[in-house]
A and B are shown apart, each in its own frame.
Chain A
């Protein structure tokens, strides 16, 4: 299907490498001058910006981590003064504190290009009507897709998430041709369309789905039920948001926008760069980002890279769908959830003693469910129901405020949560979301 910037997307690999090298040198120098933490890490390694002469020096550079965003919360890692930052987004950190990323005007511009490449690859033109059913707000999904859709010149319908009956009515009435949302919501919408008898009125031809793991089976189910082609889009707010990598009509891996990002695959335990094609942790370096640039950021997503040229003509490397995580992050209803966030909430409630708990994630009617079993203890127990219900409600409200999604809390008997080798199994994910 179509390209948005053919001369870049199909650039010979040698030229890509050269461009990456030049941009890397620029970025390293700039960050060394402007970002204290990066300078510190470079100094610790005895590295000066001059030591980085091109792409071949990439592996010398220090890694950066999600924890850094918490340590330098909220704006400590920005490489531009706040007056040049025109937007921030935030997502969940590993604990209660959110992580914040900032964008300059140029950053928003390149982000729009990234997403426009995805839409063009999905066949979108200025004739299309793109409905963005990702949440708008601090989450990068909504506004990220929105920017790219506008850039392509399509008519954007910013429905945001939720209110399914209005979503499908809008889709039918406006004649939406391309849908953007999480794959599980796409499944849910497909069912709702069926139930509402609106199938004949739906004009969808493609969908751009991301922000959570999904399988090939889900893809087929969505494609069949909505009669569309379903494209997988990858991104994370620390790097940019949706559009870091995008799928073409070959549906055989997502092309990383290599003029803006360098991907690497490393061994998550040793940090060593793995040979081409091997599976490991995905690491990104942002080449053009001004507001919040990162060098060798550990995504914790496990995948592999395929440098063979794609049949679509694009030369950009393809990453396969992440097959797992090198940490314990869960993606529930498109939201990143760390067990440590839940633990922190429970710790606060039971005055310093963490009760034993278990997180159970499932999927019912294409919607993720989050249940948290908390072992009852004398510290939590009281003679009156009111106090216990108050604790229960507080756990629910605090979790909602920290995670941004609802959870069901069940109080269970002490020691009833299964333990293996004395340690309770913290997370049970019954969804089977990886191929």
Chain B
């Protein structure tokens, strides 16, 4: 699994900017980014070059962030590839909570972060099903 940083974004203009500014100031590279919104607040999820430095920079801004593990897979850049990977999860009764894609490819394959309701089982079944599951060192190459 791969380290993800999740950031609470208060529902006020400029809050996302402040967080991104803190990352930029600390030379942190964002590899993948997603923003989820609710009526009351937003959540930014990112995979970054250095999650601990990112957390510190965000903490210093007075914003709440958390680091957690997330499954990250690489699937061939061809029609149906993602569908096949997700089918494995479905067949094992695992449901997906959210997912988002990386900006860069890894050896020509698309990289996708997936959060499921059972991370360990998802990790295991995906690997068994022949899907390439990435670890932190793979991400560093991106």
Contacts and interface: CB of A to CB of B under 8 A. Distances in A.
Contacts of A384: 97-98, 115
B40 A414 contact: no
Given A383-B66, A384-B97, A376 B38 contact: no
Contacts of B115: 383-384
Interface in A241-278: none
B138 interface: no
Interface in B1-31: 4, 6, 8, 10-11, 15
Contacts of B98: 384
A412 B15 CA distance: 11
Given A381-B8, A383-B4, A383-B6, A410 B62 contact: no
Nearest to A410: B40
A215 interface: no
Interface stretch (A97-105, A336-344, A385-393): A385-393
Interface residues of A, number: 20
B139 interface: no
B64 A414 contact: yes
B97 A376 contact: no
Given A411-B10, A413-B10, A416-B10, A385 B62 contact: no
Contacts of A377: 64
A384 B115 CA distance: 9
B63 interface: yes
A376 B8 contact: yes
B38 to A, nearest CB: 6
Contact of B62 (A382, A389, A411, A413): A413
Contacts of B64: 376-378, 381, 413-414
B38 A415 contact: no
B23 to A, nearest CB: 16
B121 interface: no
A383 B10 contact: no
A84 to B, nearest CB: 51
A423 B75 CA distance: 53
Interface in A119-167: none
A411 B40 contact: yes
Contact of A382 (B4, B10, B38, B66): B66
B68 interface: yes
Interface residues of B, number: 21
A56 B4 CA distance: 74
B41 A411 contact: yes
Contacts of A376: 8, 10, 41, 64
B56 to A, nearest CB: 13
Given A376-B10, A416-B62, A389 B38 contact: yes
Given A378-B64, A378-B66, A392 B6 contact: no
A411 B45 CA distance: 18
Given A378-B66, A414-B62, A415-B62, A385 B36 contact: yes
Nearest to A386: B97
In this complex, which of A389, A413, A414, A415 has the most chain B Cβ atoms within 10 angstroms of its Cβ?
Answer: A413
Interface in A400-435: 409-416
Given A376-B8, A412-B10, A413-B15, A388 B41 contact: yes
A383 B70 CA distance: 10
A331 to B, nearest CB: 27
B13 to A, nearest CB: 13
B95 to A, nearest CB: 12
The 9 A-B residue pairs with the shortest CB-CB distance, nearest first, are A383-B6, A376-B64, A413-B10, A415-B62, A381-B64, A376-B8, A383-B68, A411-B41, A414-B62
Interface of A: 376-378, 381-386, 388-389, 392, 409-416
26 contacts: A376-B41, A378-B64, A378-B66, A381-B66, A382-B66, A383-B4, A383-B45, A383-B68, A384-B98, A385-B43, A388-B38, A388-B41, A388-B43, A389-B38, A392-B40, A409-B40, A410-B11, A410-B40, A411-B10, A411-B40, A411-B41, A413-B8, A413-B15, A413-B63, A414-B62, A414-B64
Given A388-B8, A413-B64, 5 more contacts: A376-B10, A411-B8, A412-B10, A414-B64, A415-B62
